Amino acid sequence: MHIPLDRQQDVPLYLQIEEALRRAILTGVFVDGDKLPSTRTLASELAVSRLTVDNAYAELAAKGFLRQRRGSGAYVTHPLTQARPARPASDAPFPPESFTTLTSRLDGYADAPLPDHIVNFAAGVGSPKVFPLEEFRRILLSVLSRHAEEAFSYGEYCGYYPLRDTLGRILSAQGIPTQAEQLLITNGSQHAISLVVQSLLAPGDTVIVEEPTYAEALGLLRLHRINIVTIPSDRHGMQVDLLPALLERHRPKLIYTIPNFHNPTGRCLSEARRRRLLAIAQRAGVVILEDDFVGDLRYQGKHLPALRSLAQPGAVIYVGTFSKMLLPSMRIGYLVADAEHYQGFARLKHVDSFTSSSLIQRALDAFVTVGRYDKQLRRAGRVYRQHLAVMVKALHDHLPSGCSFETPQGGLFVWLSLPPTVTTAALMPVAWRHGVTFARGECFYAQEQHGAHGLRLNFAANTPPLIEEGIARLCRAIKEVITQDAAG
Residue spans of alpha helices (H) in 152-214: 161-173, 189-200
In a 3-state reduction of DSSP, which class is residue 22?
Answer: helix
Which of the four pLDDT bands, split at 50, 70 and 90, describes residue 58?
Answer: confident
Judge if 285 and 409 occupy the same domain.
no
| DSSP single-letter state for residue 367 | H
Judge if 247 and 388 occupy the same domain.
no
Which of the four pLDDT bands, split at 50, 70 and 90, describes residue 299?
Answer: very high
CA distance 408 to 301: 10
324, part of any domain: yes
Q: Which pLDDT does position 24 carry in this prediction? A: 81
CA distance 411 to 218: 20
pLDDT tops 50 at residue 96: no
CATH number of 34's domain: 1.10.10.10
End-to-end CA distance of the chain: 49
Instruction: Read off φ and ψ for residue 410, nearest 5 degrees.
Output: 180, -165
CA distance 260 to 258: 6
Cβ neighbours of residue 230 closer than 8 Å, sequence gap 6 or more: 208, 209, 210, 211, 213, 445, 446, 447
Residue spans of alpha helices (H) in 131-242: 133-151, 161-173, 189-200, 215-223
Which tens digit of pLDDT belongs to each residue from 189-205?
A: 999 999 999 999 999 99
Judge if 384 and 434 occupy the same domain.
yes
CATH number of 352's domain: 3.40.640.10
Which tens digit of pLDDT belongs to each residue from 203-232?
A: 999 999 999 999 999 999 999 999 999 999
Nearest Cα residue to 13 out of 44, 49, 37:
49
| DSSP single-letter state for residue 212 | S
pLDDT tops 70 at residue 32: yes
Q: Which pLDDT does position 424 carry in this prediction? A: 92
Nearest Cα residue to 323 out of 246, 393, 279, 263:
263
Cβ neighbours of residue 11 closer than 8 Å, sequence gap 6 or more: 129, 130, 383, 463
| DSSP single-letter state for residue 397 | H
Judge if 170 and 249 occupy the same domain.
yes
Which tens digit of pLDDT belongs to each residue from 443-465?
A: 899 998 999 999 999 999 999 99
**Domain, as residue range, for 354:** 133-370
List beta partners, residue 413.
458
Cβ count near 161 (within 10 Å): 16
> What is the mean pLDDT of the segment spanning 352-378?
85
Judge if 306 and 432 occupy the same domain.
no
302, part of any domain: yes
Judge if 397 and 366 occupy the same domain.
no
Burial 320-345, CB ≥16 within 10 A → b, else e: bbbbbbbbbebbbbbbbbeeebbeeb
5, part of any domain: no
CA distance 50 to 227: 60
Domain count, the chain: 3
pLDDT tops 60 at residue 81: no
90, part of any domain: no
Judge if 321 and 437 occupy the same domain.
no
The DSSP line for 403-444 is -EEE--SBSSEEEEE--TT--HHHHHHHHHHHTEE-EEGGGG
Judge if 116 and 257 occupy the same domain.
no
Burial 457-471, CB ≥16 within 10 A → b, else e: bbbbbbbbebbbbbb
Q: Pairing state of beta strands 287-291 and 183-186?
A: unpaired
3, part of any domain: no
List beta partners, residue 210.
231
Q: Which pLDDT does position 106 carry in this prediction? A: 45
CATH number of 443's domain: 3.90.1150.10
Q: Which pLDDT does position 367 carry in this prediction? A: 86
